[in-house]
Amino acid sequence: MLIMIEIIEISKLNKTYAGKFQALTDVDLSIKSGEIFALLGPNGAGKTTLISMICGLVRLTSGTIRVDGKNIEDQPRDIRQRIGLVPQELTTNMFETVWDTVQFTRGLFGFKKNNKFIENLLKSLSLWDKRKNTMMTLSGGMKRRVMIAKALAHEPDILFLDEPTAGVDVSLRKDMWTQLHALRKSGVTIILTTHYIEEAEEMADRIGVINNGKIVIVEKKEKLIKKLGKKHISFKLDNELKKIPKRLANFKLTIKDKVLHYEYDSKNTDIHISNLFDALKTENITYKDITTKQSSLEEIFVELVKNS
């Protein structure tokens, strides 16, 4: 059995910007080695601040961040060498070629030139043909790939992606997902923030939700959906039902256009669906069809943010 150690440990992390804006409040979070962790949150929730603090771009107000047991304030060099960052903005030197800009990043991180490695990296990101192009001639999607290539140029084992597929078309987004899965397979720990719930649902092993600078929940993806997800059953009735019979009042049913709706908490052990079926039979309510639906991660996310 693979034992996942905690590669990043964040404890009681606070960030207050000048002007007294509190961006993060007592954040505790652990990231496991080799996992894909998705951090979800609305705009201004504190996602980028959190990533920026781990990557050394923003100062800590209080609290600690440890990477592989090392405090980022005590041993920043050792830690930074292991981290790659794809920032949210497409920040590139527009006059540089793809090849030069990726080599530049590798050099900044203290690595000697390795043309073969960079060649393979560019090929894996479908950038090899563009290696002689200057950044200003590339499309947004291509620039985003270069940002990923730059983040991987120094062979990091921890990769942060701050909204990596923002503004990227569906096909390229799916390509990127495949590439990130391949990276995870090679042992890279991936932490990504995203607005696309579908992306988190597709990619993540665990999901953290942050809102107003506070971590609302951290849970395995499947467990989160199971734990907080609601189930919904719709009965397409044979005959119109003008009013819900008194015997069915406990089920809090709703009716609309000859469809009877029942929403329930799947983790509630007191609920037995068979009771509803029995009650419908007793009331002689017949139906042509039944559809069931489990709430999506998106619905769970919206609910969590609303209630936090």
Partner 1 sequence: MNFQAIKTIYMFEMMRMFRTIGQSIAAPVISTSLYFVVFGSAIGSSIKSIDGVSYGSFIVPGLIMLSVLTQSISNASFGIYFPRFTGTIYEQLSAPISYLEIVIGYVGAATSKSLILGLLILGTANFFVDVSIQNIPLMTLFLLLTCITFSLFGFIIGIWAENFEQLQIIPLLVITPLTFLGGSFYSLKMLPPIWQKISFLNPLVYLISGFRWSFYGSGDVNLGVSFIMAALFLIVSLLIIRWIFKTGYKLKT
69 binds partner 1 (CB under 8 A): no
**Least gap, CB of 107 to partner 1 (angstroms):** 3
Q: Which residue of 14, 109, 271, 303 would you call a contact of partner 1, by CB under 8 A?
A: 109
By CB under 8 A, which span of 103-111, 120-128, 185-193, 204-212 interacts with partner 1?
Answer: 103-111
Residue 48 or 301 having the CB closest to partner 1: 48
Q: Which residue of 11, 28, 44, 59 would you call a contact of partner 1, by CB under 8 A?
A: 59
71 binds partner 1 (CB under 8 A): no
Q: Which residue of 14, 30, 58, 155 would you call a contact of partner 1, by CB under 8 A?
A: 58
| Total Cβ atoms within 10 A of residue 4 | 13
Residue 104 or 293 having the CB closest to partner 1: 104
Q: Which residue of 13, 31, 38, 85 would you call a contact of partner 1, by CB under 8 A?
A: 85
17 binds partner 1 (CB under 8 A): yes
Residue 144 or 150 having the CB closest to partner 1: 150
SS3 track for the chain: CCCCCEEEEEEEEEEECCCCCEEEEEEEEEEECCCEEEEECCCCCCHHHHHHHHCCCCCCCEEEEEECCEECCCCHHHHHCCEEEECCCCCCCCCCEHHHHHHHHHHHCCCCCCHHHHHHHHHHCCCHHHCCCEHHHCCHHHHHHHHHHHHHCCCCCEEEEECCCCCCCHHHHHHHHHHHHHHHHCCCEEEEEECCHHHHHHHCCEEEEEECCEEEEEEEHHHHHHHHCEEEEEEEECCCCCCCCHHHHHHCCEEECCEEEEEEECCCCCCCHHHHHHHHHHCCCCEEEEEEEECCHHHHHHHHHHHC
111 binds partner 1 (CB under 8 A): yes
Q: Which residue of 66, 143, 150, 206 would you call a contact of partner 1, by CB under 8 A?
A: 150
Q: Which residue of 44, 107, 140, 167 would you call a contact of partner 1, by CB under 8 A?
A: 107
**Least gap, CB of 78 to partner 1 (angstroms):** 7
**Least gap, CB of 291 to partner 1 (angstroms):** 48
Residue ranges binding partner 1 (CB under 8 A): 17-18, 55-59, 76-81, 83, 85, 87, 89, 91-95, 104-105, 107-112, 150
